[in-house]
């Protein structure tokens, strides 16, 4: 596993762990794994994009 952090962006590469490439996320956590008071769940963003015709 490789871990990269710059400013507020964190990228972790898991090589050979999963059969295919995937994107993961940690809803409700900041770049230091501390709980956020407010966040928009990625599933809500997906619903909004689909409603606007973006698949």
pLDDT of residue 15: 77
> Is 8 in a helix, a strand, or coil?
coil
Q: Which two tokens stand for residue 33?
A: 């794994």
pLDDT of residue 52: 92
pLDDT of residue 30: 80
Segments making up each domain of the chain, as ranges: 2-51
pLDDT of residue 29: 79
- Alpha helices of the chain — where are they, by DSSP H? 42-51
- pLDDT values of the chain reduced to their tens digit, one per residue, 55 residues: 566 666 767 777 777 888 877 767 667 878 777 888 988 888 888 898 899 988 6
pLDDT of residue 51: 93
């Amino acid at each position: 596993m490789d871990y990269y952090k710059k400013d507020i962006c964190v990228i972790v590469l898991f090589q050979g762990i999963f059969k295919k490439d995937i994107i993961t996320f940690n809803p409700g956590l900041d770049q230091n794994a501390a709980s956020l008071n407010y966040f928009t769940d990625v599933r809500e963003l997906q619903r909004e994009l689909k409603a606007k015709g973006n698949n």
